[in-house]
Chain A
Amino acid sequence: MAEHPNQLEVEPAGFALARERSAGGPSRKGALLDRRPGAATRFFTHPVTLRIVSAAALCLAWQWAGTVPISPAFPTFTETMAALWAMLADGSLFAAFAITLQPLLIGLVVSAILGVAVGVAMGLDERAEWFASPIFIVAQAAPLAALIPLIVFAYGIGLTSKTLVVCIMAMPVIVLNSFAAVRHTPVSLTEMGRSFLAPRRKVISRIILPAASPVIFAGLRLGCASGFIGAILAELLITPTGVGDIITYSRSIADYPSMYAAILSIIVFSVVFIEAIEQAEVILFRPEKRASP
């Protein structure tokens, strides 16, 4: 079980918005249809049209399923939106997010710093790899959520436990991506550094880390997604607080619109959050992407 780089869950297709833009238009190579459409067809197949159509269709389907209703526990789209609005208006949603975000942000910052450091160390040093990689390879494949009851025994039901849950969910993918990124730095780039007399320290800071940063950031995005999973799981499983509390409480009193609204809000929030990380990466670390379209 040495290094199989392809075995990592490296980011597949990325996140809709940013990638769609950078891909440069609809007609790409491959098996896509390549006919020349008429004006009307062009309007109906335009990405924006279709995105709106797709969103509208989903809302309508939701509304219809709620009015039937397919289940007594399935509110309509408008009811959910009304509940969302109510929670936004009385500020309860913001208060809930403030609580949920605490373990999440602490956990993500800790995992990011620790995870990248461990992964980079493993990439640079064979002994560190030998020592740590089996643990993280197992952790990447294993259902770490099963550790939650144990964490609760050890650290109680407070912030520490929830932060730890976020960490164990987010860390393996961050570590393994950082490791693979460093290990697969193009040899000719490091040789270039050496031949132009860069000391080891400079080869690392000026060549290896910048070359690894796209994959490290992909790992961070995946880690964030896992961290969100962990944060919600902790709130549902350990003690209901924050958004988890809204979900659990409104479920217990059968206030399904509020429950759905809370779930919708956390999903939207996580997607926006991860998108923001991607933008931050481009702005801070990828001058060549900013330079030209």
Chain B
Amino acid sequence: MIVFGRRIPMVASLLLWAILWEIIGQLQVTILLPPLSSVVMRLFEIVPTASFMSALGVTAYAFIVGNVIAIAVGVPLGILMGRSVIADRLFLPWVNLFLSAPLTALVPVIMVIFGLGQTTIILTVVLFAIWIIVLDARAGVRSISPSLVEMAHSFGANRLQAFTRIYLWAALPEILAGIRLGVIRAVKGVIIGQLLVSIVGFGALFKLYGSRFLMEHFWTALLVLFALAFILAESLAWLERRVDFYAASRG
């Protein structure tokens, strides 16, 4: 925004919101919203505690394992669907269905089969992340120029070489875009999974803070969570822009 001919950066508006939060908190409009300053003070107090650190660790573990599984399964499946008409027709309807389906409804199924533990949360992460990864990998492979494929074959590349040397690299920008979107969905998945299982990680923390009505603690956890999610999303976007740059110069 430009005011009096000076450019005011977008972050400044976040500052404005923070001030607004502080004022509402100080005025004690609602007990639900403690002032930002006291939440920030609380941050230094509870973040180093063992329970918070372990919640963070447990969440990070489920999140990372889930994403690794989703990428390890999703990318090859997407490439396969992009390459083979039959695989595409067999899987595409289901991938599309799960992409927009209310996946929270499936979490109880995972819960009754795998119990109330990390496995369920990891599978929830996979469930949230994988579909968009598959679709974007598929889109990436489909957008590869046929001449590139013909070039590989004319130089005698076999199937495995064609896969590792051509498809994976040529489709990289789209694959990365899919992974970024998948990771953002996974953040939501891991929290939803923990809320539903409610005895693991942040789910347990929220339950604890909620039942004791510790609003400052609650907001602290939210603040940390939202900040981490935002930083993750922005850094992935940054990475993707770098690759897009390489892709643009690739021609």
| Direct contact between A and B judged by beta carbons closer than 8 A | yes
Given contacts A142-B225, A145-B195, A150-B32, contact A228 B102 (CB under 8 A): yes
CB neighbours (8 Å) of B230 from chain A are: 137-138, 141-142
B109 x A153 contact (CB < 8 A): no
Give the complex CA separation of A45 and B241 in angstroms: 38
B206 x A232 contact (CB < 8 A): no
Which chain A residue lies CB-closest to B234? A1
CB neighbours (8 Å) of A30 from chain B are: 82, 141-144, 146
- Among A110-118, A127-135, A185-193, A194-202, the stretch in contact with B: A127-135
Does A71 touch B at the CB level, under 8 Å? Answer: yes
- Which residues 35-69 in A have Cβ within 8 Å of B in the complex? 45, 47, 50-51, 53-55, 57-58
Give the complex CA separation of A54 and B162 in angstroms: 28
Q: Report the minimum CB–CB distance from A90 to chain B (whole Å).
A: 21
Q: Report the minimum CB–CB distance from A280 to chain B (whole Å).
A: 16
B187 x A143 contact (CB < 8 A): yes
CB neighbours (8 Å) of B207 from chain A are: 149
B109 x A58 contact (CB < 8 A): no
- Which residues 64-96 in B have Cβ within 8 Å of A in the complex? 82-86, 88-94, 96
Give the complex CA separation of A74 and B112 in angstroms: 9
Contact with A along B215-239 (1 / 0, CB 8 A): 0001001100110011011100100
A143 x B1 contact (CB < 8 A): no
CB neighbours (8 Å) of B117 from chain A are: none
Which chain A residue lies CB-closest to B191? A143
Q: A126: which of B2, B93, B94, B210 is its contact (CB, 8 Å)?
A: B2
- Which residues 84-119 in B have Cβ within 8 Å of A in the complex? 84-86, 88-94, 96-97, 99-109, 111-113
Q: Report the minimum CB–CB distance from B31 to chain A (whole Å).
A: 9
Which chain A residue lies CB-closest to B114? A71
Give the complex CA separation of A147 and B225 in angstroms: 11
Give the complex CA separation of A70 and B112 in angstroms: 12
Contact with B along A19-31 (1 / 0, CB 8 A): 1100000101111
Does B190 touch A at the CB level, under 8 Å? Answer: yes
Give the complex CA separation of A9 and B233 in angstroms: 12
Does B14 touch A at the CB level, under 8 Å? Answer: yes
B191 x A131 contact (CB < 8 A): no
Does A167 touch B at the CB level, under 8 Å? Answer: no
Does B248 touch A at the CB level, under 8 Å? Answer: no
Does A14 touch B at the CB level, under 8 Å? Answer: yes
A236 x B222 contact (CB < 8 A): no
CB neighbours (8 Å) of A7 from chain B are: 233, 237
Give the complex CA separation of A243 and B102 in angstroms: 12
Give the complex CA separation of A233 and B234 in angstroms: 27
Give the complex CA separation of A236 and B225 in angstroms: 22
Give the complex CA separation of A7 and B230 in angstroms: 12
Give the complex CA separation of A80 and B190 in angstroms: 28
Does B13 touch A at the CB level, under 8 Å? Answer: yes
Q: List 21 A-B contacts (CB under 8 A).
A: A7-B237, A13-B99, A16-B93, A30-B146, A31-B83, A50-B90, A51-B93, A54-B90, A70-B113, A134-B13, A138-B226, A138-B230, A142-B226, A143-B191, A146-B202, A225-B102, A229-B192, A232-B104, A236-B108, A266-B105, A267-B97
Q: A228-B101, A263-B108 provided; 18 other pairs, C-beta below 8 A?
A: A12-B99, A30-B144, A30-B146, A31-B146, A32-B83, A32-B85, A50-B86, A73-B112, A73-B113, A131-B13, A134-B17, A138-B226, A141-B226, A236-B196, A263-B109, A267-B105, A271-B101, A274-B100
